[in-house]
Structure 1
Amino acid sequence: MNKLIIGNLESIHLPDLGIRDLQVRIDTGAQSSSLHVDNLKRIQRSGRPWVCFDLHPDLYNTDDIVRCESPVHDIRRIKSSNGESQQRYVIRTTIDLGGQTWPIDITLSNRSDMTYLMLLGREGMGDRVLVDPSATFVTTPGSVED
């Protein structure tokens, strides 16, 4: 398999969630991937735990809200960059990066104090990518249709 070369910032799609052109920070120092969400609520669907939440995919337009729902894949204890440990819901969804798609686990968190709404960590990249830390927006977003 040819590895995809990516920069330290990229634009991705999360087609299962209806999210297109989300700018993400690539972080090889982070194990897990994290997504900022608002109004996170746990719900039940057919007896299984799900979460519903809001995303603001455009940093500059907080009026643009996408309401998402996803089954809970896991609940993990995550140590944040400031050293605090917290329990987070984990969802499994599809990522489209540079026209390539694969399943990814994402923790749902409050990243409101961060510049980018999503952090793509090592587990999410797997063995699929090589990171050029000096470059940004190397890939062209794929053509996954909603």
Structure 2
Amino acid sequence: MKEKILVGARETIDLPELELFEVATRIDTGAQTSSLHVDHISENKVTGMLDFEFHPDSHDVSKTIKCSAKIVDRKRIKSSNGEKERRYIINTLAVMGELKWTVRLSLTNRSSMSHLMLLGREAMKGEMLVDPEFSYLASVEKITPSVG
């Protein structure tokens, strides 16, 4: 049996192919798919690539990182509020602590959520065990500026 890493309810994940680092991520065994909060999605039908923007600081939406990724699918996904939404799907390298693996992400607007990324069951399968009592067991807590 493959040894799995222990993760908490919250972790930070690097997505180096998208040049995104220390992304605040909620680990959610109740969600099947994983998702990443992005804005301004633009599809290039000739190349099959997506251009989109990521906001690394949820307290300052004027800061953006422009990303590009190959479209691997489009799927109807039921969100946490029960609504079905058609989303673009990409594959990208994910790094959390010592673990490196390819993660399948749906791109959506998560601005009403407290974490910029959600890691679902499909991405965890065979790789990790979750202890929801703790956070940042496999990664380092992202320090965000205080508001107020």
**Does the TM-score normalized on the shorter chain lie above 0.5?**
yes
Deviations 1:93-118 (A, max 9, x none): 01001221111100000111111111
Report the residue type matching 2:4 in the other structure.
Answer: K
Unpaired runs of at least 5, structure 1: 142-146
Report the residue type matching 1:97 in the other structure.
Answer: M
For 1:27-46, what aligned pairs fall within 5 Å after superposition? 27-44=28-45
Residue 29 (structure 1) shift: 0.3
Unpaired runs of at least 5, structure 2: 141-148
Residue 139 (structure 1) shift: 1.5
Normalising by the residue count of structure 1, what TM-score does the alignment of the two structures yield?
0.90
Residue 61 (structure 1) shift: 3.3
SS of equivalent residue, structure 1 residue 48: coil
For 1:127-146, what aligned pairs fall within 5 Å after superposition? 127-140=126-139
SS of equivalent residue, structure 2 residue 122: helix
Aligned residue in 2 for 1:2: 3
Deviations 1:18-64 (A, max 9, x none): 011111000000000011101111114xx331110000122233333
For 1:52-131, what aligned pairs fall within 5 Å after superposition? 52-131=51-130
Residue 86 (structure 1) shift: 1.1
Aligned residue in 2 for 1:13: 14
Distance 2:68 2:16 in 1: 12
Aligned residue in 1 for 2:143: none
Residue 15 (structure 1) shift: 0.5
Structure 1 contact 4–98 (Cα < 8 Å) conserved: no
Residue 126 (structure 1) shift: 1.5
Report the residue type matching 2:98 in the other structure.
Answer: G
Count the aligned residue pairs.
139
Aligned residue in 2 for 1:144: none
Normalising by the residue count of structure 2, what TM-score does the alignment of the two structures yield?
0.89
Distance 2:116 2:102 in 1: 19
Aligned CA RMSD, in angstroms, stands at: 1.2
Distance 2:130 2:31 in 1: 13
Call closer, same or farther: CA 1:20–1:32 in 2, change over 3 Å.
Answer: same
Distance 2:83 2:61 in 1: 27
Distance 1:106 1:4 in 2: 20
Deviates further, 60-69 or 96-105 = 60-69
